[in-house]
Amino acid sequence: MSETATATQDFKVADLSLAEYGRKEIRLAEHEMPGLMATRREFADSKPLAGARITGSLHMTIQTAVLIETLVELGADVRWASCNIFSTQDHAAAAIAVGPDGTPEDPQGIPVYAWKGETLEEYWWCTEQALTWPGAGADGSAGPNMILDDGGDATLLIHKGVEFEKAGAVPDPAGADSEEFRIVLQTLTDSLAADGSKWTDIAKGIKGVTEETTTGVHRLYEMLENGELLFPAINVNDSVTKSKFDNLYGCRHSLIDGINRATDVMIAGKAAVICGFGDVGKGCAESLRGQGARVIVTEIDPICALQASMQGYEIRRLEDVVDSADIFITTTGNKDIITAD
């Protein structure tokens, strides 16, 4: 594990020696991301993001590295953590920590806390580090003024921190209803012991958050309905260029790749159940059918179920196929889709 913390640089990644490999892949990815590269060319001189302190909680991949360096080119001060314990590409994280002008011996990059295979304790520690600036900004806050979130974990940590600071105590972690929430409570317990107003101060400086997942957007709407949302939020998930392209075509591309890498089992002839036929479900169903799977769709929305039927898929109730199908894909963004009685 490579880590450092100085007055000007701080990070924790798996292996800085992977930076050169990561840099080569970043250069290749830049050719596949013309929108971001055009943004750099148009706005690099004017620096429209000057003064922005952006915390990213997003998969630390090569493509994310291109986004991070675009934000920096446009003037932003950035700190980053992954939003998933397994999704980090270690060579991408190393390249970001080292930077385009640095070396593994003299890293000159961006504060990033991410490596593949984090424990849950490490994951929430990394999220806290990404939200904590070493010095106060011009507005007096030691945190970000913008958050780029994926799954809502960075937003959740801030909101729970503010809630418990206001209450004066964190609930006993031992009473948490899940192992992960126990770790969140322990993280906040340790944080409040060190600084009783940290999260309240950070929340005051935040101008807004963007959220790009269905799950994260659900959390934000719940907070809004309960009067708990502390700052404006932009629902990226429901933008046309996300839901109609990333959800549909991105999942159509990546689902099969993920199944093949994880199992290396032939899909042709298998019975595959798609739980949900929204944009993600449509892309997944199409990709599985293309591999020769017998695709079955379960869907509670009658319109989406009718769409699946009109596209030639078999519509069944989950309980009727759960004991016989080979592959199950849940695409709803909700938990407890498949349960055991």
Q: What would the mean pLDDT of 81-89 be, rounded to a whole number?
A: 97
Q: What pLDDT sits at residue 8? A: 46
Given a contact cutoff of 8 angstroms between Cβ atoms, the answer to whether 284 and 274 are in contact is yes
Instruction: Give the tens place of pLDDT for each residue, 254-306.
Output: 999 999 999 999 999 999 999 999 999 999 999 999 999 999 999 999 999 99
Examine the fold and report which residue of 238, 272, 303 is the final residue of a domain before the chain moves on.
238
Q: What pLDDT sits at residue 151? A: 93
Q: How many domains does the chain have?
A: 2
Examine the fold and report which residue of 238, 257, 291 is the final residue of a domain before the chain moves on.
238
Q: Are both 250 and 137 inside the same structural domain?
A: no
Report DSSP letters for 75-86, one per residue.
T-EEEEE-SSSS
Label residues 109-128 b or e (16+ Cβ within 10 Å = b): bbbbbbbbebebebbbbbbb
Q: What pLDDT sits at residue 7? A: 35
Q: Are both 14 and 134 inside the same structural domain?
A: yes
In a domain, 32, yes or no: yes
Instruction: Give the tens place of pLDDT for each residue, 127-150.
Output: 999 999 987 655 666 899 999 999
In a domain, 265, yes or no: yes
Give the closest residue to 245 by CA, choosing from 213, 283, 275, 212.
283
Q: How much of the chain, in percent, has pLDDT values that exceed 90? A: 87
Q: How far apart are CA 84 and CA 115, in angstroms?
A: 10
In a domain, 337, yes or no: no
Q: What are the tokens at 287?
A: 């990709």
Give the closest residue to 209 by CA, choosing from 199, 220, 198.
220
**Three-state secondary-structure class, residue 285:** helix
**Three-state secondary-structure class, residue 334:** coil
Examine the fold and report which residue of 211, 238, 265 is the final residue of a domain before the chain moves on.
238
Question: Radius of gyration (Cα) for the chain, nearest Å?
Answer: 22
Q: What pLDDT sits at residue 1? A: 67
Average pLDDT over the chain, rounded to whole?
94
Q: What pLDDT sits at residue 140? A: 64
Q: What pLDDT sits at residue 5? A: 40
Note down the domain range covering 158: 2-238
**What CATH number is associated with residue 217?**
3.40.50.1480
**What CATH number is associated with residue 276?**
3.40.50.720
Q: What pLDDT sits at residue 259? A: 97
**pLDDT beyond 50 at 6:** no
Residue 273's beta-bridge partner residues?
296, 328
Crossing angle of the two packed helices 302-310 and 279-290, in degrees rounded to 10: 20
Q: Are both 275 and 218 inside the same structural domain?
A: no
Q: Are both 203 and 263 inside the same structural domain?
A: no
Q: Are both 59 and 167 inside the same structural domain?
A: yes
**pLDDT beyond 80 at 72:** yes
